[in-house]
Amino acid sequence: MENYYDYLKSLHLIFVITWFAGLFYIVRLFVYQIEAADKPSPEKEILQNQYRIMTYRLWYIITWPSAILASIFAFWMLFFTDRGNIWLEFSWMHVKLGFVFVLYLYHLKCHQIFKQLQKDEVRYTTNFMRLWNEGATIILFAVVFLVILKSAVNWIFGVIGIFLFSVLIMLGFRFYKRIRERNR
């Protein structure tokens, strides 16, 4: 099995990328669906139907399969290869797996929002969705830095960095919101 480790790692990385792509785009589509709910008829119904189809295809053809396949390959690498067993001994991997758990929670919450919007139930604002979209970005940054630097010793600095990065995103969001409001 060790001979296939790099193939497993490559497949895992490919499906992590497509999983994140799906998560980034699905929330953007949620924003569009929520905005469509405020449009007059028949534009509202036309847009909502189109966005329902787009989100359905993205969610079930790309995002869910990518999440499942990324998880299968990760599990395979961690538990059925010698290198994976070694990785589990490092504290940075435990922190990374904690962020992966948060990613699963984020994914499941997106699934809940997806199901609501498929039934035309709008429970969130577009501003909330724009901020929610940054959640996957923060998780991505955390995981990539942990994997590349392989250091959980400095995880406190990492958490501070992620917090500061989040603050910058919030400030950027507010700045963008003001520009949008002025241009209306």
Span 68-81, pLDDT tens digits: 999 999 999 998 88
**Can you tell me the distance from the alpha carbon of 152 to that of 123, in angstroms, rounded to the nearest whole number?**
38
Span 23-47, pLDDT tens digits: 999 999 999 999 999 999 999 999 9
DSSP state of 63: I
Report phi then psi at 74, rounded to 5.
-65, -45
Residue 12 annotated as lining a ligand binding site: yes
In this predicted structure, what is the pLDDT of residue 20?
A: 98
> 83, 128, 82, 88: which is closest to 109 by C-alpha?
128
Tokens of 135: 């959640």
Q: How many domains does the chain have?
A: 1
49 Cβ contact list (under 8 Å, min separation 6)? none
Residue 96 annotated as lining a ligand binding site: yes
Contact 23, 66 (CB under 8 A): no
Span 122-145, pLDDT tens digits: 999 998 998 899 899 889 988 888
**Can you tell me the distance from the alpha carbon of 123 to that of 153, in angstroms, rounded to the nearest whole number?**
40
**Can you tell me the distance from the alpha carbon of 138 to that of 25, in angstroms, rounded to the nearest whole number?**
15
**Which range of residues forms the domain containing residue 81?**
2-182
Distance of CA 116 to the CA centre of its chain: 18
HEC letters along 60-105: HHHHHHHHHHHHHHHHHHHHHCHHHHHHCCCHHHHHHHHHHHHHHH
